[in-house]
Structure 1
Amino acid sequence: MKQIRLAINTHHWDPSESVESFLNASSTQEFQHALSCIHPDERARITRKLVREDAKMALVGRLLISAMFVKEYSCSWKELRFSRTKAGKPYLERCSETNVFKATNVIFNISHHGGWVVLAAAESCAVGIDVMTLEIPGKRAIPVQDFFVSFQDQFTQSEWDYINRPADDKKKLRRFIQYWCLKESYVKAIGVGIVVKLASIEFGGLPEDDNITQPNAPITLRLNGIPNLSWHFELSDLADDHCVAVALAKRPDDDSAYSDKTRFEVMQIEELLAHAEGL
């Protein structure tokens, strides 16, 4: 089973000089070109965003989806047509290439936070992804335990025990964010949004030495206290200051697909825009 992981850092891409010009699509030629390469409906979604960085990452996310199909399945950018499910998840509706069957059976998910945009995809397999900066949201200067208070009912006692085991607050926060990303990736994979109680989704098996770059025992999942073996989970670091979690529904016909972690390919903005074509 083919799996794809792509990531791109938008921090250094500054296609406009002001928030107003960026959101009103009246900025530089490069940004105008980027906007012209996505469907008008998605273009409208992006230009309605009030925060410049959110708009920029959302735009890169849409470009990254199309670039993945061009790069991995030799699809024509202009022939790609996307739709959304009732839950709002985008999917490839059609393309006109010889790989049309494989391409239209690719399930993908994107996430962005802190300047990074990430994508996970797999053939005929539900997938979810979430990325977060390894810091308290909003860069608030508050004690870690004060930050945790608002989330007491989102984690099980076993998860809190693991989070609070280190003496170092940075390690505690790192473990908290890892769990949060895992929960989000699963929720996104099943496509229900955060309407389920997050404490009913319990993870285990994370390494005590916090080293997620080395092979470890599989991350385990319990749903309402009952072990669930139908999912595979991966944790990765990006640039040492972001955590990424991927949830992948297991296919019984392809157990070997889950033996190794799929590494992220980091793309550059220039490479992304080189694939893009105006619509």
Structure 2
Amino acid sequence: MRHPKDKGLLKTNSRLEMELENGVQRWIVDISNWNPSPHCFSFAMSFLPNHEYSSITRFVELEDQKRALVSRLLQYALVHQVLGIPFDEIIIRRTPEGKPYLNETAYEFVQNFSSYFSSSEWNHIMHAGSSDEMLHIFYRYWCLKEAFVKAMGTGVGYKLDDVEFHHMNWNNIFVEVAGKELKDWKFWLLDLGRNHSVCIARGQPRAATTSYRTTLKQIKFDDEEYYHGLHLPNASFTFRTVEDLIQVIYGADQVPSDISTKFDVSEDEGCERARFVQQLG
């Protein structure tokens, strides 16, 4: 919850926040009273690509065909409305298990976020080389920006295209905001595995939002104290297992040595859900 003094922040709704909210859509289509004529059914199906037809007509019962048709119309309509992709350009593929996914290139994906990067950052992303390299650089810049705004407590409400990062081969990273370098910040960027980037941002407590500062015990430091804190060693990550966490919570002496954990995936009223099951002894 934000501090009452931050009334301006409560009223702020950045373009990114709005897009994130608009990107979360939950639609329900009631087909119980929809009884189309053969002509109307064919007309509705004509909006779909030809390769989708067999997944509808393979059913014998009309009710099953209706469900299959509406399921696919729903997917295409959502993609069209949320992402703005022309209906005839939408390509939805399916996994071997039948789960749908949007077949979008790396270039098409990053284009959705072009307005949140400076010209130099965007140029670096666009000239990265392969699709994998493009995504890798995109996520690195995004990781830096997200760490910076979260360290201040502003989240995605900050104007991200004003935040420009510079580096020497991803070392000696520094940030400029609206063209002004912030010298009292340090950033560390590292990769955890192939597809995960992690950024640590460290800055002056006074740069935090008013609501965030009220949660801190101390926000004023002299130059020597701040310099010491800013240049503390960058600690490495420690990998833990689920069993490790349970031992921390319950105490290592109280948890049986044969503790086991598993994920039990079941189906409940047609909806898949994951339930974490903990077995002790």
TM-score normalised per structure 1: 0.44
Which one has the bigger strand percentage? Answer: 1
TM-score normalised per structure 2: 0.44
- Which structure has the greater CA radius of gyration? 2
Higher RCO structure (Cα 8 Å, ≥6 apart): 1
